[in-house]
Amino acid sequence: MDFLTLLFLGLMFVGIYVTTMFILLTIQNSDKMFKYPIPNESYSITVIIPAYNEEKSISSTIKHVVNSNYSNVKILVVNDGSNDNTSDIVKKLCKKYKNLKLLDKSNSGKADSLNCALKSVKTDLFAVVDSDSFPANTSLKKLSGYFDDSKMGAVTSFVKLRNQHDNFLTKLQAVEYILMGWSRKLLDFIDSVYVTNGPLSLYRTKFVKKIGGFDPESITEDIDITWNLMRHGYKTSMCLDANVTTVAPNTLKSFYHQRTRWGLGGIQALFKYRGEILRRNLFGSFVIPFVMLSIGVSVLGFILLSLTIGRDISIKLINAGLLKSSNIGIFQKNLVNLTPPVILYLLVFLAISSIIYFTYVLTQTKGRFEKIHSFNNFFNLLFYIFVYLAIYPIVWFSSIFRFITGDYRW
Amino acid sequence: MVKKVFVQTLIISLFIFSTGFYLGDYIESQRADYIQDLSFKSETNRLDLNTQISMFDKLDCDTIRSETINLADDTYFDAIELEQMEESEVYSDKLYEIHRKYDLTRAIIWKITDDQSRCFEDYNIIVYLYQYLDPSYENAIKQEYFASLTSEIKTNYDNTILIPIAYDTEINSLKLMMNILELDDETQLIINNEHFVSELISKDNLLNLINTN
């Protein structure tokens, strides 16, 4: 058995392990997926909204937070040196809403803006809400109950897309967001939620201040803060029923840019926290290896497919061109190979398991998120599994390149 | 609770993986057995032909031709099946030795067509020498093309005997033949033991080298 075959079998095993784990967690926790703890006490909350040139959406974001059914809320908008009308719009709204404040500062990035805001936060908890994201009015209440656990450091929400019907790319992302949210909730059952997203996450102020706040050097401060909290032994969690809507990139260029940045942030975090790997806690023994394997399987799988199937396909294509130019039939009946390698059966098994499982997930979430996710197009799901996921590693290559060359631009 | 999930997952994954692995190995063994059966038949035919070679002086051309062509055709089609299964083989390399047997048979057929050339004057003998072990990308493209080209010629011209032989499976008799003909170890077509083609050639140019009557 050659090296590539061994590598393929290794990747297959990892794929089977992760799929099995998710299916097993789903079966064991099917009745708990959408449940959340009712808070025993009323925590004071500050909602921080960092904004940079968000004149189009800032007003709606603030209104959505104001309309929250959580009573004990302060809102702090951090204007990160916007050169549009963001500041003026917020100033006007400050007159209308007494619990709204504006912090104007020169541009220094999201993490630094959050740290500036954090200095003035006196509440038990604080939420971070992206300035283009609209939390549902019940979300803060649903998230707050998790903090009855004294070790809870951060709780994140389920992100839905407002613009999923823009085009095919946003439809695919809508599928992805559902699957990401679902899998993040499953990871919650093994205390391994490793990202508290930017659109809406709630943090315990005391813990975040204790660990030094957000890292301005990190290109994805939401991954970094979560890992930092986990490293210090604090818990993270996810509420699938607390949702927030946001806007996904609807052009390939903006999508590629966003995902490259996310990937770069992930690699940056792996590098920063590499010393924690295989420590005797879940963060070191599962979360970091899990993220490393996710990237590794994706990248190696892509290389492997390119080396094997890609090589064969390119040879067949070139041969087809040569045969055509020589007036020879492209398909020689004798030479058609109807005996696929048995190793492909494992891949087929994995693909079929994924299709069934993902279909189940979409069916489960459809009833709850019907207004936003009326998605039931099987073709889109197949395209997502066989094309989107297959070519997504290109983003990882770009992220790795940016990491190696030190290109940390937002 | 958390540890329990990891252990449960590991057990189930190992079960699925090992089941798939052994199933794959079993399917490959079945394929190898099938090819083994074909090769037994081919081996018997080869021994039969070897015996007949000693009598060739006393046999007429029709008999020699008929016996040789039958074996060449049987070997050609069996070998295609063999190679397709070899391409799909992952877990073992059981088929390699069987491949060598076929190469030996085909080397003998080539030798007969050369020795008894008087009986094959109206025939085109196309010997296709190819690299079996790890061909480079460029060579793989050339071989894919040569395989299709020669298959097309064989299909369209009944008077064609096609003898594909791997030159790198350590068959000594083949090496000796190649030495006699001063042939290098490279992918090439040998047309009627007269024309040697090692570069890509169009169908029309190849037809110019063979007897299309």
Contact state of A319 with B77 under an 8 Å Cβ cutoff: no
One domain, residues A78 and A163 = yes
CB contact under 8 A, B31 and A339: yes
Q: Is B96 a residue whose pLDDT tops 60? A: yes
Same domain, A43 and A23: no
Provide the β-strand partners of residue A46: A74, A126
Contact B131, B167 (CB under 8 A): yes
Report if residue A133 sits inside a domain.
Answer: yes
- Does residue A175 belong to any structural domain of this protein? yes
Name chain A contacts of B90, Cβ cutoff 8 Å: 1, 5, 341-343
Instruction: Say what the pLDDT of residue A363 is.
Output: 81
Q: Is B84 on the interface with A (CB under 8 A)?
A: yes
Average pLDDT for A64-75? 92
Note whether A282 and A296 are same-domain residues.
no
B17 touches chain A (CB under 8 A): yes
pLDDT on residue A360: 87
What would the pLDDT profile of A207-235 be if each residue is shown by its tens digit?
A: 999 999 999 999 999 999 999 999 999 99
pLDDT for A65 equals 96
Q: What is the pLDDT of residues B113-146, one digit of tens each?
A: 888 888 888 888 999 999 988 889 899 999 989 9
CB contact under 8 A, A28 and B5: yes
Q: Is A171 in the same domain as A215?
A: yes
Domain residue limits at A178: 36-286
Separation between Cα atoms, residue A139 and residue A161, nearest integer Å: 16
Q: Is residue A164 one of the residues assigned to a domain? A: yes
With a cut of 60, say whether residue A336 has pLDDT above it. no
pLDDT at B13: 93
Share the mean pLDDT of chain B. Answer: 84
CB atoms within 10 A of CB B51: 9
Give a yes or no: residue A272 inside a domain: yes
CB contact (8 A) between residue B80 and residue A319: no
| Nearest C-alpha in A relative to B77 | A334
B90 CB within 8 Å of a chain A CB: yes
Instruction: Name the average pLDDT for chain A.
Output: 89
Sequence-separated (6 or more) residues with CB below 8 Å from residue A229: A153, A154, A203, A207, A208, A211, A236
At the topology level, CATH places domain B2-209 in Glutaredoxin (3.40.30)
* Cα A198 to Cα A111: distance, rounded to the nearest angstrom: 11
Closest Cα in chain A, distance from residue B118 (Å): 30
Burial of A62 (0-12, 13-18, 19+ CB in 10 A): buried
Model ipTM value:
0.81
In the predicted model, what is the mean pLDDT of residues A256-266? Answer: 94
**Chain B contacts of A326, Cβ < 8 Å?**
149, 202-204
- Most confident range (mean pLDDT) of A5-9, A271-275, A375-379 is A271-275
For residue A307, how many other CB atoms are within 10 A of its CB? 12
Q: Is the pLDDT of residue A371 over 70?
A: no
Q: Do B27 and A332 touch (CB under 8 A)?
A: no
Q: Which of A329, A335, A346 sits opposite B20 (nearest CB)?
A: A346
Per-residue model confidence (pLDDT) at position B71: 82
Least confident of A173-187, A396-410, B199-213: B199-213
Contacts 24+ apart (CB under 8 A), A328-332: A328/B148, A328/B149, A328/B152, A328/B203, A329/B152, A332/B147, A332/B148, A332/B151, A332/B152, A332/B155
- A220 located within any domain: yes
Distance from CA of A33 to the nearest CA of B (A): 16
Answer yes or no: are the C-beta atoms of A170 and A163 closer than 8 Å: yes
Asked whether residue A155 falls in the same domain as residue A258, the answer is: yes
Task: Tell whether A410 is covered by a domain.
Answer: no
Residue A372's pLDDT is 41
- Helix pair angle (B61-88, B2-53), 10° resolution: 170
B34 min Cα distance to partner chain A (Å): 13
Per-position DSSP letters for A11-33, written without gaps between them: HHHHHHHHHHHHHHHHHHHTTTT
Measured between beta carbons, the chain A residues lying within 8 angstroms of B8 are 24
Of the three residues A286, A305, A322, the one that is the final residue of a domain is A286
Residue A346 and residue A220 in one domain: no
Secondary structure letter of residue A233 according to DSSP: T
Average pLDDT (A182-207) is: 95
- Rounded CA-CA distance A253/A405 in Å is 21
Q: Where are the domains of chain B?
A: 2-209
Decide if A152 contacts A237 (C-beta within 8 A): yes
A339 touches chain B (CB under 8 A): yes
Which of A189-198, A331-340, A395-404, B41-50 is the least confident region? A331-340
Three-state SS annotation for A159-215:
EEECCCCCCHHHHHHHHHHHHHHHHHHHHHCCCCCCCCCCCCEEEEHHHHHHCCCCC
CB within 8 Å: A13 and B12: no
Length of chain A measured in residues: 410
Q: What is the largest CA-CA distance in chain B?
A: 85
Torsion of CA B111, B114, B115, B121, to 10 degrees: 140
In a domain, A76, yes or no: yes
Name the more confident of B181 and A341. B181
More confident residue, B68 or A28: A28
Segment A23-58, tens digit of pLDDT: 999 999 999 999 999 999 889 999 999 999 999 999
Q: Tell whether A17 is within 8 A of chain B (Cβ).
A: yes
What share of chain B in percent tops pLDDT 90? Answer: 17
Residue in A1, A334, A335 closest to B91 by CB: A1
Q: What is the pLDDT of residue A281?
A: 84
Distance CA(B212)–CA(B41), nearest Å, equals 32
Domain match, A209 and A130 both:
yes
- Chain B hits for A311, CB-CB cut-off 8 Å, are 137, 140
Q: Do A277 and A235 sit in the same domain of this protein?
A: yes
With a cut of 70, say whether residue B150 has pLDDT above it. Answer: yes
Q: In this complex, is the C-beta atom of B12 within 8 Å of any C-beta atom belonging to chain A?
A: yes
For B195-213, b/e burial (b = at least 16 CB within 10 A) is ebbeeebebeebeebbeee
pLDDT for residue A373: 46
How would you write B106-132 as a 3-class SS string?
HHHHHHHHHHCHHHHCCCEEEEEEECC
- Measure the CA–CA gap between A240 and A142, rounded to whole angstroms: 10
Measured between alpha carbons, how far is residue B67 from residues A222, A238, A389, B123 in Å?
77, 77, 56, 14
Chain A environment of B208 (Cβ under 8 Å): none
Residue B88: the pLDDT is 63
Task: Report the number of distinct structural domains present in chain A.
Answer: 2
Contact A264, A402 (CB under 8 A): yes
Q: If you measure CA to CA, which chain A residue comes closest to B149?
A: A328
The Cβ-side half-sphere exposure at A1, using a 13 Å CA radius, reads 11
- What is the nearest CA distance from A127 to chain B, expressed in angstroms? 28
CATH number for the domain spanning A114: value is 3.90.550.10
pLDDT band at A377 (very low <50, low <70, confident <90, very high): low
Q: Say if residue A23 is in the same domain as residue A53.
A: no
Residue B97 pLDDT class (50, 70, 90 cuts): confident
State pLDDT tens for residues A284-310.
889 999 999 999 989 998 888 887 777
- Whole-number pLDDT of residue A370: 47
- Same structural domain for residues A21 and A137? no
Q: Contacts of residue A286 in chain B, CB cutoff 8 Å?
A: 6
Q: At residue B57, does pLDDT exceed 80? A: no
Q: How far apart are CA B104 and CA A251, in angstroms?
A: 60
Q: Regarding beta strands A235-246 and A152-161, do their DSSP bridges make them parallel or antiparallel, or are they unpaired?
A: parallel
B155 CB within 8 Å of a chain A CB: yes
Residue A251 DSSP code: S
Is pLDDT at A319 greater than 90 in this prediction?
A: no
A21 and A40 belong to one structural domain: no
Partner B, chain A 183-212, Cβ-Cβ below 8 Å: 189-191
Res A409 pLDDT > 80:
no
Same domain, A243 and A330: no
* Inter-CA distances, A14 with A10, A19, A283, A351, Å: 6, 9, 19, 14
Amino acid identity for residue A22 in this structure: F
Nearest CA in chain A to B24: A342
Q: Which of B9, B28, B203 sits opposite A21 (nearest CB)?
A: B9
* Cβ(A118)–Cβ(A208) below 8 Å: yes
DSSP 8-state symbol, A150: T
Residue where a domain terminates, one of A236, A257, A286: A286
Nearest to A339 among B84, B147, B149 (CB): B84
Instruction: Find the residue in B nearest to A18 (Cα).
Output: B9
The verdict on a CB contact (< 8 Å) between A342 and B27 is yes
Q: How many CA atoms within 13 Å lie on the side-chain side of A182?
A: 24
Among the ranges B24-38, B40-54, B72-86, B101-115, which has the highest mean pLDDT value?
B101-115
Instruction: Name the token pair of A118.
Output: 């954090």
Residue of A nearest to B80 (CA): A335
Dihedral of alpha carbons A306, A307, A309, A315, sign = positive
Question: Considering the domain boundaries, does residue A227 fall inside one?
Answer: yes
Query: Which pLDDT band holds residue A376 (cuts at 50, 70, 90)?
Result: low
Map residue A403 onto helix, strand or coil: helix
Write the pLDDT tens digit of every residue in B153-188.
Answer: 888 888 888 999 999 988 898 899 888 888 888 899
Token pair recorded at residue A66: 């104001």
Of A271, A286, A301, which marks where a domain is finished? A286
